[in-house]
Structure 1
Amino acid sequence: MSQTASAPASGRINWTNLITVVSAAILLGTETVGAALAFGWAMAGWLGFGDIGTWILEALSLALGVAALVWFFRRASSVEPWRG
């Protein structure tokens, strides 16, 4: 028995790979967003930026976290191809 995954026929979705990639992205996304917001809040408080500065730093760190999540999803989709 072979353990390797075969690519689906042209135009079909490989649901096993898609569920794997989406599940990993959800797990990584919640951790990344939470860590990014906590980092922005903590750094703004430590540096004394005030409310507006805190929101700006949280937004910047959140944008970086979302960019990392998009990068992860694209790389994971290339390793686990879910489209035929």
Structure 2
Amino acid sequence: MTRPAVPGTVNWSNVLTVASAAVLIATQAIATAVAAGWALAGLLNLGDMGEYGLMALFSLVGIYASFAYLRMASRAEPLRH
């Protein structure tokens, strides 16, 4: 049974949903980015510094994707009634 919405209040269920999904997507995006940097550096024999550089570069892309997802999810899910 749900209570009626009070105008101007925060719907904490929606906030929790958006935050949980953002954490899940961020973890997957950053882990995939690091793995892709490691694999590509190994494939191209770039050595340790090339490996760390690609992992850092791809991690920045993963972090950007995570923030973009968070912005889109918070727009799609109404946090207020």
Do the structures match in fold with TM over 0.5?
yes
| Equivalent in 49, 59, 74 of residue 62 of structure 1 | 59
| Equivalent in 72, 75, 79 of residue 75 of structure 1 | 72
Name the Cα RMSD after superposition: 1.8
Structure 1: gaps (5+ residues): 1-5
Residue number in structure 1 paired with 2:7: 9
| TM-score (normalizing by structure 2) | 0.86
Structure 1 residue ranges (4+ consecutive) displaced by more than 4 angstroms after TM superposition: none
- Figure out how many residues of one structure are paired with residues of the other and give that number: 78
Q: Take 1:13 and 1:81, find their aligned partners in 2: how far apart are those partners?
A: 9
Structure 2: gaps (5+ residues): none
Residue number in structure 1 paired with 2:42: 45
| TM-score (normalizing by structure 1) | 0.83
Residue number in structure 1 paired with 2:15: 18
